[in-house]
A and B are shown apart, each in its own frame.
Chain A
Amino acid sequence: MQLTGAQALIKSLEMEGTEVMFGLPGGAILPVYDPLIDSSIRHILVRHEQGAGHMAEGYAHATGRPGVAMVTSGPAATNIVTPLCNAYMDSVPIVVITGQVAYSVIGTDAFQECDTLGITMPVTKHNWLVTDARDVPQVVREAFHVATTGRPGPVLIDMPKDISNQTMEWYWPDGVDLPGYKPTTRGHPKQIKDAARLMAEAHRPVIYAGGGILKARAAEALRELVELTGFPVVTTLMARGAFPDDHELCLGMPGMHGNYTAVTAMQRADLLVALGSRFDDRVTGKVSAFAPEAKTIHVDIDPAELGKVRRPDVPIVGDCRLVIEELVKAVRSSRSKHEWPSLAAWHDQLRRWQQQYPLVFEQDDSGPLKPQFVIDSLRDHTPDDTIVASGVGQHQMWTSQRWHFNHPYTWVNSGGLGTMGFAVPAAIGAKVGRPERLVWAVDGDGCFQMTAQELVTASAERIPVKIAILNNAYLGMVRQWQELFYEERYSEVYLSPDLPDYVKWAEAMGCVGFRVDHPDDVVPTIEKANAIDDRPVVVDFRVDYREKVYPMVPAGLSNDDIVVDPSQGDGGH
């Protein structure tokens, strides 16, 4: 069967099980958009290429399947660099296809030519420039394989226009030919035994669960390990939901804006069991002062993470789920032979911290409306399996702190890169992947203005996501730092609550718009929004701009210097 390169590309995507793709056509990718008309793949036409990339990420977060985005060359390719970098930092499997000028004119500064391969090399796990239509099926197969195996990540296929028009004899390759790519998935048995031995000696252990748990579909295995050992768990920003917040051994989020107990438990621990986490600077604070008494077991599928920031006592390269399952066996065997130390005193200590330093805020009945109150109300008036997306800033930290994530894959956010504007398109992608779920984005007013136009996409495609804007009229997190560390000199952070008019803007984009500025109206409006399922909803919550995110570990300081809410004193050290 003779196909053009373009037809082969679409057919290869179908062979890989692609059901939906997000994109926007243009000159160099035109040939590939033609066979798309006859394809089973649903295409969602975005309004900006960045939106396509983040939607693919949201889709991947919510479903575990690779998200696919397709855009043209030049400016479209550069517009999708941000999502690629975001996906690279957060290990999100996405496959991005870019059009390219004809291979015969590459290097001549042709119209809409840019060196997409060169630009995206540092932000992809791998990328390909297709130079022969016969390579298309092989490249697509390799791209999906690389994106979804090992440490997942973004990949890019750059498709020159003349290659799309070339004909080839269709085939589907049996497998991939990547002699330099063989991820280690099974942990070394000796290392696993050593890990179990360290665990058997711990009096103050903490499991430090990271996003790798979710990527490896290891939430159930983790729960088994926790219930077997009684080790408490912290779940990082990327791992919220990997272990249920309502479990008594869940301590919640650690790090710069983590809760007191999670942060301090790690500081006082004598053993950290790091599972799919990477000792990110937002978690460790000042590295030399991080968890000073703790031995560490570090499990990661990426060998480069082991020892990158902190040298582990027991490094284990492997897939989190497979390694945890083996650990469970090793722990069972160890516990059947001898008794492990009691953790009762440690559990008591953790409970005392939890009682002494809960997350606090006060909502006055008459207002002003507190952002924390909005998040709590949203949390308490949505189903347990609601998917929540967020942008980056104060609203993100409050949501991560306060939401009760009891199921994996219910939290979609931008961690490593900290990409403002992530929430709206990511929520749309998540809703496309999980149409049966309620999907809310909690967004900031600054973030919302970066990618709001994708709500036009959502309206046109009937994707009923809901957006709660915590509108404090400021770039809130920047304002918080200027207040605390720059002597209240507020430089370029004021945005205005009324400009733009978010309700009118929502309506102009085909959404329902609400405005709430009184605490009494919060719950009724949330319920009204929940009842709408034929179009997107935007709620403009006018919240108190003075609220700050606490606790907070100031940048560059030790986690011991954690600052709790001013009403709770100085942190108790």
Chain B
Amino acid sequence: MPATHHTLSVLVENKAGVLTRIAGLFARRGFNIYSLAVAPTDDERFSRITIVVDVESKPLEQITKQLFKLINVVKITELHPDEAVERELMLCTVKAEPATRGQVIELVGVFEGKIVDVGHEEVTIMMAGAPSKLDDFEELMRRYGIEDLQRTGRVALPRLDRGTARLHSVSGMVS
């Protein structure tokens, strides 16, 4: 993924309309969202939104500051790829006629994916992992013919502190 992308892990209040507020803010301030994943956290009052932003459009600092002005946004953590664990899930339907089916299955095995559905002429594969691994797999499947593909967008958490974690938190900057 190009270096112009940054991952923001945003803790928000679990209230109706929060996603609209965030999406609307990005649109009206001219920021671009590359991918977005939303899910509840272990605390039912909060959800976590993982946003990968395109910082070529606007500086990251302005994005996080504007985001933090939303009343429902509780905390924003900027996750540098080196300092975060990032994972993504992909479902992908690939042409797998009898002649090539063996090769596809073999590659799924190499990438530690799973075949979750089988048809006469195609298979549906599930794969979880680092986004770059999914990129590679997608690339390899292209020659067999991808019929359908859906990725979730990445989710991320900071790497556990084993000495020198540098978290770029921007909390405490509200208005």
Residues on A facing B (Cβ under 8 Å): 117-118, 121-122, 125-126, 129, 131, 146, 150-151, 178-184, 301-304, 307-308, 317
Chain A neighbourhood of B107, CB < 8 A: none
A179 and B74 within 8 A (CB): yes
A146 to B175, CA, bound (A): 9
B73 and A304 within 8 A (CB): no
A303-B65, A307-B62 are known contacts. Are A179 and B13 too (CB-CB below 8 A)? yes
A129 and B16 within 8 A (CB): yes
B150 part of interface (Cβ distance < 8 Å): no
A125 to B73, CA, bound (A): 13
Chain B neighbourhood of A129, CB < 8 A: 16-17
* CB nearest neighbor in A for B61: A307
Report which of A121, A178, A180, A181 forms a contact with B24, defined as CB distance below 8 A: A121
B77 part of interface (Cβ distance < 8 Å): no
A183 and B28 within 8 A (CB): no
Among A121, A151, A182, A304, the most chain B Cβ lie within 10 Å of the Cβ of A304
A307 to B58, CA, bound (A): 12
B174 and A122 within 8 A (CB): no
* CB nearest neighbor in A for B71: A126
B62 and A304 within 8 A (CB): yes
| 7 A-B pairs with the lowest CB-CB distances in the bound complex, closest first | A304-B65, A302-B175, A180-B74, A126-B71, A303-B173, A150-B175, A151-B175
A-B contact pairs, 11 of them (CB 8 A): A125-B71, A129-B16, A150-B175, A180-B13, A180-B70, A182-B172, A301-B175, A304-B65, A304-B66, A304-B68, A308-B62
A121 to B173, CA, bound (A): 21
A118 and B174 within 8 A (CB): no
A303 and B62 within 8 A (CB): no
A183 to B173, CA, bound (A): 7
Chain A neighbourhood of B74, CB < 8 A: 179-180
Given contact pairs A183-B174, A304-B69, enumerate 9 new A-B contacts (beta carbons under 8 Å). A126-B71, A129-B17, A146-B71, A180-B75, A184-B174, A303-B65, A303-B173, A304-B68, A307-B62
Chain B neighbourhood of A308, CB < 8 A: 62
A180-B72, A180-B73, A302-B69 are known contacts. Are A317 and B173 too (CB-CB below 8 A)? yes
B21 part of interface (Cβ distance < 8 Å): yes
* CB nearest neighbor in A for B67: A304
B4 part of interface (Cβ distance < 8 Å): no
Report which of B21, B66, B73 forms a contact with A121, defined as CB distance below 8 A: B21
Q: In angstroms, how far is the closest chain B Cβ from the Cβ of A104?
A: 16
Chain A neighbourhood of B61, CB < 8 A: 307
* CB nearest neighbor in B for A152: B175
Interface residues of B in 155-170 (CB under 8 A from A): none
Chain A neighbourhood of B45, CB < 8 A: 179
* CB nearest neighbor in B for A317: B173
Q: In angstroms, how far is the closest chain B Cβ from the Cβ of A321?
A: 15
Chain A neighbourhood of B16, CB < 8 A: 129, 131
Chain A neighbourhood of B17, CB < 8 A: 117, 121, 129
A181 and B174 within 8 A (CB): yes
B175 and A303 within 8 A (CB): yes
A541 to B60, CA, bound (A): 52
* CB nearest neighbor in A for B27: A122
* CB nearest neighbor in A for B172: A184
A121 and B20 within 8 A (CB): yes
Interface residues of B in 1-39 (CB under 8 A from A): 12-13, 16-17, 20-21, 24, 28
A146 to B62, CA, bound (A): 22
B174 and A150 within 8 A (CB): yes
* CB nearest neighbor in A for B76: A180
B71 and A178 within 8 A (CB): yes
A179 to B24, CA, bound (A): 21
A303 and B68 within 8 A (CB): yes
Q: In angstroms, how far is the closest chain B Cβ from the Cβ of A131?
A: 8
* CB nearest neighbor in A for B171: A182
A304 and B175 within 8 A (CB): yes
* CB nearest neighbor in B for A304: B65
Q: In angstroms, how far is the closest chain A Cβ from the Cβ of B174?
A: 5
Q: In angstroms, how far is the closest chain A Cβ from the Cβ of B151?
A: 28
* CB nearest neighbor in A for B75: A180
A180 and B173 within 8 A (CB): no
A145 to B75, CA, bound (A): 20
A126 to B175, CA, bound (A): 12
Q: In angstroms, how far is the closest chain A Cβ from the Cβ of B171?
A: 9
A186 to B142, CA, bound (A): 57
Report which of A121, A126, A180, A307 forms a contact with B174, defined as CB distance below 8 A: A180
Q: In angstroms, how far is the closest chain B Cβ from the Cβ of A114?
A: 15
Chain B neighbourhood of A184, CB < 8 A: 172-175
Chain B neighbourhood of A304, CB < 8 A: 62, 65-66, 68-69, 175
Chain B neighbourhood of A317, CB < 8 A: 173, 175
Chain B neighbourhood of A151, CB < 8 A: 175
* CB nearest neighbor in A for B173: A303
A307 to B59, CA, bound (A): 10
B71 and A180 within 8 A (CB): yes
* CB nearest neighbor in A for B66: A304
A302 to B173, CA, bound (A): 8
* CB nearest neighbor in B for A178: B71
Chain A neighbourhood of B24, CB < 8 A: 121-122
A181 and B71 within 8 A (CB): yes
A45 to B73, CA, bound (A): 37
Q: In angstroms, how far is the closest chain A Cβ from the Cβ of B168?
A: 15
Chain B neighbourhood of A307, CB < 8 A: 61-62
Chain A neighbourhood of B72, CB < 8 A: 180
Chain B neighbourhood of A302, CB < 8 A: 69, 175
A117 to B24, CA, bound (A): 12
Among A118, A178, A303, the most chain B Cβ lie within 10 Å of the Cβ of A303
